[in-house]
Amino acid sequence: MNLQFGSSGIRGKYPETVNSSVAFELGRLIPRIMGEELALGNDPRYSGPVLKASFLAAALENRAKVLDYGLIPTPALAYQTKSLGRSAGIMITASHNPPEYNGFKVFNKSGEALDDETRLSLKNPKKLTYDGRASSLEPADPREYKELLSRVVFKKKWKVVLDCGNGAASQLAPAIYRDRLDKVTTINSYPDGGFPGRGSEPTRKSVQTLGSMVGEIHFDAGIAFDGDADRMYIVDDKGVCPLQDRILASYIAFLAKKSKGPFVVPLDASMVVDEIAEKTGARLVRGPVGDAKLLREAKRLNANFAGEPSGAWIHREYNNCPDGPLSGLLFLKAAETLGLSVSEMVRDVPEYHMIREGMRYTGKLSQRKFSKMANGLKRILGKNSSVETKLGLRVNTDRAWVLVRDSGTEPVIRVTGESKDRSEATRVMRETLRLLRQVLKGR
């Protein structure tokens, strides 16, 4: 069996794409290729126990020594892998995808998502022989990760509502935040693989209940996590759920007071991030969409911070994995350092009109279709627009842009558009989607 890795490891619907056979094959290969000392964790998806049992059956047969963390956030599992020097970390999760999905994120001994070379070796394994050495399986506690987050120290008596989304953060995050902050209230903080509270992905729409609660009880902030807690969403002290590009921009402005960067953001981040970076003198670099690719770009540039509007933020001096609980604490610390509330942090960051859509498509855009899209988008945005094709298809003007790219985790083409004018954003998105349908149908 050839294991098919995407930008976020192995991911798909259970059991059509991701099943016990995939789990068994992964458990057979990882100890032989990456090493025997493994860290293992999972989110609460209903299919997790079946995948875990199959993975362990193969891994233990192949002399693995497994530390089993059970329900744990992905960033905690990645950090444990790094801090304890394990050969590999395996997280059974589909992150923010719906409950019918599951998958595997695999980390190397540095706590980094698999690079392309390791993916290739797993896809095309060499035949290896078993030598009969003993295996082991032990329960484990993420003490080192707890110690990492204890380094964020507060003077202000913060009052925060956590929305754990019924996900992997449901047990660990409330305990850590209660240890660091004055008052912590939680919602959706019992693990449930169906994600009944608001779904597995924190979006502006899905965190409205969190916003209402923050406003009603007059707390300082709300923080929501996705299914495996590598993403977070910040709600301000007024209960407002701001566009997270504004949160990202305000945080980069804070970081720029200490260092001018570089700071890495993906191609689909709002143009307001560029504007704030320019005002603060920060060096901003646009990288590929997807946290594993963004990390590689940050490493190449020796950048300490890389962040996506999705709330997947990487602080390389702390953790090589996007870390929702850590990022939430560090954002609060930034506001405290500046003597500002969360709403004051983002007050001077404008919000433009951004629309994100997706269109299901099982293939890849051919070069001919890609060229048709590029020419069509130039007509939609005007003759003065510029085209970028390095990391997808992005067409820009000084007031608007649109990005068309393949999803790395689903059979979907992602379309993101933004304009300083609401009606222009709506028009650009409407015409882009119409063009995309025509191109995909071969017209």
Residue type, 30: I
Burial 33-68 (b: 16+ CB within 10 A, else e): ebbbbbbbbbbbbebbebbbebbbebbbebbbbbbb
- Beta strand residue intervals within 72-172, DSSP E: 88-92, 101-107, 136-139, 159-163
- Among residues 95, 189, 206, 310, the one annotated as catalytic is 95
Rounded CA-CA distance 103/271 in Å is 33
**Three-state SS at 349:** coil
Predicted pLDDT at 366: 86
Predicted pLDDT at 263: 99
Burial 330-344 (b: 16+ CB within 10 A, else e): bbbbbbbeeeebbbe
Predicted pLDDT at 443: 59
- Which has the closest alpha carbon to 43: 11, 5, 80, 69? 69
Spacing of C-alpha 24 from chain mean position? 26
Q: What is the pLDDT along the chain (443 residues), one digit of tens a residue?
A: 778 787 789 999 999 999 999 999 999 999 999 999 999 999 999 999 999 999 999 999 999 999 999 999 999 999 999 999 999 999 999 999 999 999 999 999 999 998 666 676 777 666 656 566 789 999 999 999 999 999 999 999 999 999 999 999 999 999 999 999 999 999 999 999 999 999 999 999 999 999 999 999 999 999 999 999 999 999 999 999 999 999 999 999 999 999 999 999 999 999 999 999 999 999 999 999 889 999 999 999 999 999 999 999 999 999 999 999 999 999 999 999 999 999 999 999 999 999 999 999 988 788 899 999 999 999 999 989 999 998 889 999 999 999 999 887 778 899 999 999 999 999 999 999 999 999 999 85
* Encoded tokens for 414: 């992602």
Predicted pLDDT at 365: 81
Q: Which domains does the chain have, with CATH numbers?
A: 10-141 (3.40.120.10), 155-240 (3.40.120.10), 242-351 (3.40.120.10), 353-440 (3.30.310.50)
- Which has the closest alpha carbon to 227: 73, 349, 379, 404? 73
- Which has the closest alpha carbon to 229: 200, 255, 253, 250? 200
Rounded CA-CA distance 118/9 in Å is 11
Using a 10 angstrom Cβ sphere, with 0-12 exposed, 13-18 middle and 19 or more buried, the burial of residue 430 is middle
Predicted pLDDT at 120: 62
Q: Is the pTM of this model over 0.85?
A: yes
Q: Based on the residue annotation, tell me whether 87 is a catalytic residue of this protein.
A: no
- Which has the closest alpha carbon to 83: 63, 106, 111, 103? 111
Rounded CA-CA distance 305/74 in Å is 18
- Which has the closest alpha carbon to 316: 263, 269, 245? 263
**Three-state SS at 16:** coil
